[in-house]
Amino acid sequence: MTRLFALAGIAGLLLAAGCAPVPITKAEVDGRVLCNDLQMDQVERQARRVNANVVWINCPQMVLRAS
Protein backbone atom coordinates (compact mmCIF):
# COMPACT_ATOMS: atom_id res chain seq x y z
CA MET A 1 0.00 0.00 0.00
CA THR A 2 2.78 2.45 0.85
CA ARG A 3 4.57 1.53 -2.37
CA LEU A 4 1.45 2.39 -4.31
CA PHE A 5 1.26 5.81 -2.66
CA ALA A 6 4.98 6.36 -3.26
CA LEU A 7 4.65 5.46 -6.95
CA ALA A 8 1.57 7.66 -7.30
CA GLY A 9 3.42 10.54 -5.64
CA ILE A 10 6.42 10.16 -7.93
CA ALA A 11 4.15 9.97 -10.99
CA GLY A 12 2.33 13.11 -9.83
CA LEU A 13 5.60 15.00 -9.39
CA LEU A 14 6.77 13.98 -12.85
CA LEU A 15 3.49 15.15 -14.39
CA ALA A 16 3.69 18.46 -12.52
CA ALA A 17 7.31 18.96 -13.63
CA GLY A 18 6.24 18.49 -17.24
CA CYS A 19 3.91 21.50 -16.93
CA ALA A 20 6.64 23.86 -15.68
CA PRO A 21 7.09 27.01 -17.81
CA VAL A 22 10.19 27.40 -19.95
CA PRO A 23 12.60 30.07 -18.65
CA ILE A 24 12.55 33.35 -20.60
CA THR A 25 15.70 34.16 -22.58
CA LYS A 26 17.29 37.59 -23.02
CA ALA A 27 16.17 37.67 -26.65
CA GLU A 28 12.53 37.21 -25.62
CA VAL A 29 12.74 39.95 -22.97
CA ASP A 30 14.52 42.54 -25.10
CA GLY A 31 12.05 44.98 -26.62
CA ARG A 32 9.00 43.78 -24.68
CA VAL A 33 6.59 46.64 -23.92
CA LEU A 34 5.04 46.71 -20.44
CA CYS A 35 3.08 49.12 -18.30
CA ASN A 36 5.33 51.34 -16.20
CA ASP A 37 4.08 50.46 -12.71
CA LEU A 38 6.47 52.85 -10.97
CA GLN A 39 5.24 55.87 -12.92
CA MET A 40 1.61 54.84 -12.37
CA ASP A 41 2.24 54.52 -8.64
CA GLN A 42 3.85 57.98 -8.49
CA VAL A 43 0.94 59.58 -10.34
CA GLU A 44 -1.62 57.87 -8.12
CA ARG A 45 0.21 58.90 -4.92
CA GLN A 46 0.36 62.50 -6.14
CA ALA A 47 -3.36 62.38 -6.96
CA ARG A 48 -4.14 61.13 -3.44
CA ARG A 49 -2.14 64.00 -1.95
CA VAL A 50 -4.20 66.60 -3.81
CA ASN A 51 -7.43 64.58 -3.45
CA ALA A 52 -7.84 64.03 -7.20
CA ASN A 53 -9.24 61.09 -9.13
CA VAL A 54 -7.08 59.26 -11.70
CA VAL A 55 -8.67 57.10 -14.39
CA TRP A 56 -6.21 55.17 -16.57
CA ILE A 57 -7.32 54.64 -20.17
CA ASN A 58 -3.87 53.67 -21.40
CA CYS A 59 -1.01 52.92 -19.07
CA PRO A 60 2.36 54.65 -19.48
CA GLN A 61 4.58 52.19 -21.28
CA MET A 62 8.21 51.22 -20.95
CA VAL A 63 10.39 49.01 -23.13
CA LEU A 64 12.50 46.34 -21.45
CA ARG A 65 16.13 46.15 -22.50
CA ALA A 66 18.20 43.07 -21.67
CA SER A 67 21.69 43.88 -20.51
Per-residue model confidence as pLDDT tens digits over 24-63: 777 777 788 889 999 999 999 999 999 999 999 999 998 8
Alpha-carbon Rg for the chain in angstroms: 23
Distance between CA atoms of residues 43 and 29, nearest Å: 26
* pLDDT at residue 4 greater than cutoff 90: no
4 vs 15: CA distance, rounded Å: 16
pTM above 0.75, yes or no: no
User: Residue 65: what pLDDT?
Assistant: 82
pLDDT at 33: 85
Calpha distance 52→62 (Å, rounded): 25
Per-domain residue ranges for the chain? Answer: 24-67
Asked if 54 and 42 touch (Cβ cutoff 8 Å), the reply is no
- What pLDDT shows up at residue 24? 74
Contact 62, 36 (CB under 8 A): yes
